[in-house]
Structure 1
Amino acid sequence: MNFEPIHIFQPVTVLVFWTMLVLLQIPIRRFRAAFKGEVGPGDFRFGESARVPPHVSIPNRNYMNLLELPVLFYAGSVVAYVTHHVDHMLVLLAWVYVALRVAHSVVHLSYNHVIHRLVLFAISNVVLAGFWGRLAWTLWL
């Protein structure tokens, strides 16, 4: 396959769709909990009350995670593309970052082992810093 700068948007697109899948988990888990009588509408009046069980609130927290640091990934991808500084290394770092963020979500949304989650989150942040370091290097040289 030939390398094209637009390939930077493949991992971006995957992370966007993953974020949407996580977003979809919020109403699914809330409605299931409501049907079981675990929560009521008042439990969500001001966000999530203390009554909301963890298995219901975790997708919302994970969704918020996917809207925090990944913003820097999205911005960097656009900057790289617009300035014509996309290269193989940047695309590779983008794919690694997305894979780590998806893995972080899977752990968070399933068995939720804090240490596993922390390791994936920390490594993804190092990769994001490397992504921006690579981008800065290509922009300034």
Structure 2
Amino acid sequence: MDNNAILGPVATLALWSMIMWVWMYATRIPAMQRAKIDAAKLVGGTGKGLDDLLPAEVQWKAHNYNHLMEQPTVFYAVALALAIGGMGGGLNAQLAWGYVALRIVHSLVQATVNRVMWRFGIFALASLALIALCVHAFIGFVLH
């Protein structure tokens, strides 16, 4: 069994996060220009401050990018721990691929149609895969 197989999903989700970053700015910068927002004059604040100034469809990409910096940090930590601990193959690699696939689908839904109940269902399924990875890591490192 390839105990480093779980690193494929890690690299994929990291790359997907950067794709969302590009998509965010590819839509946000032109929207800011259309809204006559002079970024050079902005001081302080956060991207959330643009929620009142830019169309919601533009901000959905930014909101999703932020989401990719939240729960996936747990995924990265547990996946790397499983790989280092020799438990990154088999079912754990499959769960990791499932998690990543669901997070990508979640991104696409949030960035396009943004139906909250669809997002929630996808997020819940992804969270179950992540919980399973966390339980496997706990069993392997703490109870073993």
Normalising by structure 2, we get a TM-score of: 0.87
Query: After superposition, what is the alpha-carbon deviation per residue over 1:26-60, rounded to whole angstroms, capped at 9, x for unaligned?
Result: 2111122134x235135964123311211121111
Unaligned runs of 5+ in 2: none
Q: 103, 106, 110: which one pairs with 1:104?
A: 106
User: Root-mean-square deviation (CA), in Å?
Assistant: 1.7
1:121 aligns with 2:119: no
Unaligned runs of 5+ in 1: none
Query: After superposition, what is the alpha-carbon deviation per residue over 1:78-111, rounded to whole angstroms, capped at 9, x for unaligned?
Result: 1112222223011011000001100100100111
Identity of aligned residues (%): 25
Q: Runs (4+) of structure 1 moved beyond 6 Å? A: none
The verdict on how the C-alpha distance between 1:78 and 1:111 changes in structure 2, with shifts beyond 3 A counting, is: same
Q: Residue 58 of structure 1 aligns with which residue?
A: 60
Q: Residue 136 of structure 1 aligns with which residue?
A: 138
Q: Residue 81 of structure 1 aligns with which residue?
A: 83
Normalising by structure 1, we get a TM-score of: 0.89
The question of whether the paired residues in 2 share the 8 Å contact of 1:38 and 1:53 is answered with no
Q: How many residues align?
A: 138
Q: Residue 8 of structure 1 aligns with which residue?
A: 6
